[in-house]
Structure 1
Amino acid sequence: LKPVPPTEYDGTPDARVLHRFCQECRDYLEAGKVKKHRQVFTISRFLKGTAWEFYLNTVAGNVYSWDLETFWVELLNYCFPTNYIGKLRKDIDRCYQNSRNVKTYVHELQELFNLVGQTDERTSVTRLWKGFRESIR
């Protein structure tokens, strides 16, 4: 199968859109067996708008020294408001099950954890437990 190119990313400060772009790029690079030192350059073809400006002004001059994970972090820092991750952390603190079913609550909380890069299982489970309705705890 031929690798499916990712949907272009224009720098829209929407974590779901960026997450999708990142996942599609990873799949594209893996399927195309692109060498690590060429990965950032390869995906630059799928950038436009603010994301392209970031690439042009920050990355292009030394593109082969950039690794993919650093690129994602710096792209997010460039395209998103400076308080974006802080806002997501506050959303996590305000996320409770309330009248929702468990599956819906867990899904929302997991999505927020993914967006902020929360990988510590103990912290995640503690926050999940704290947000359950009293009748479940």
Structure 2
Amino acid sequence: MILKPVPPTKYNSEADSRLFLKFLNDGTAYVREGGVPQRVRKLGAFLTGEAADFYEDLVEDNAREWRLMSFFKELYNYCFPLTYRMEQRRKLKKCFQNELTVKQYDAALRRLWNTIGITSEHERVDRLWTGLHVEIQKGLWREKLHPEFSRYKDVLHAAELTEVIESIDKPKGGVRNKSQKSDHPQPSGNQAGGSHNHRRSH
């Protein structure tokens, strides 16, 4: 059975990086899997609002001459404000793991990188590493990884593994693990309900 390519959701020019990236990825898959010869012209039918204006005014008359990636790049420049990438870079600088899991933090970073256009593995490794919890960074060093030389997938895998180990070692709900010794010595003989062999004063 041959499956038909799934058409992309229409893009209405909203300056939302998630919507744009979804249109880019889904649109690219649609025309490539469908073997469409005039790819840009086909995708023009899925644009509305100002995005449709961009296509009609700047692309439609010579759509055959447009390469797919050039089309997406110019569509982005048309729909997004000039300061958008700068704003995303500011968000990236302030993006730390905090309450996120390693997997969630990785996803948040990837969204920002895709918007900004950061493809350097070294830059990605450095940002992931320095934004993780200190305990997880220590685990990366124990695994003999290095922010300057290690691959992103190796750092990410080790970070996820360290996170699991940390969650096992950490007691939940304030209940002390039975294998842990109390930090406070127990008083001898004067506990509540303990010995009543006190000397009577005469």
Same-fold status (TM-score > 0.5): yes
State whether residues 18 and 111 of structure 2, in contact with CA within 8 Å, keep that contact through their aligned partners in structure 1: no
Q: In structure 1, give the amino acid aligned to 2:43.
A: I
Task: Measure how far apart 1:56 and its partner are.
Answer: 1.1
Alignment of 1:36-115 (within 5 A): 38-115=38-115
Instruction: Give the C-alpha shift of residue 61 in structure 1.
Output: 2.3
Give the deviation of 1:68 after TM superposition: 0.7
Q: Distance in 2 between matches of 1:30 and 1:70?
A: 16
Cα deviation digits, residues 14-69 of structure 1 (max 9, x gap): 1101111111111111221012xx11111101111110001111112221111010
Partners of 2:93 and 2:4 lie apart in 1 by 43
Query: Whole-Å Cα distance in 2 between the matches of residues 122 and 33 of structure 1?
Result: 36
Give the C-alpha shift of residue 132 in structure 1: 1.3
Cα deviation, residue 122, structure 1 = 0.5
Q: 1:10 deviation in Å?
A: 0.9
Unaligned runs of 5+ in 1: none
Render the CA deviation track for 1:99-130: whole Å, top value 9, x for unaligned.
32222212211221122221110010011111
Report the Cα distance in structure 2 between the residues aligned to 1:100 and 1:31, rounded to whole angstroms. Answer: 36
Question: For residue 130 of structure 1, what is the aligned residue in structure 2?
Answer: 130
What amino acid is the match of 1:98?
N
Partner of 2:25: 23
Query: What letter is aligned with 1:60?
Result: E
For 1:110 and 1:2, the matched residues in 2 are separated by 29
Distance in structure 2 (CA, Å) of the matches to 1:108 and 1:3: 28
- The aligned counterpart of 2:34 is 32
Q: State, as a whole percentage, how many aligned pairs show the same letter.
A: 39
Say if 2:8 and 2:46, in contact at 8 Å, map to a contact too. yes
The two structures have a TM-score, normalised by structure 2, of 0.64
Residue 11 of structure 1 deviates from its aligned partner by: 0.6
Count of aligned pairs: 135
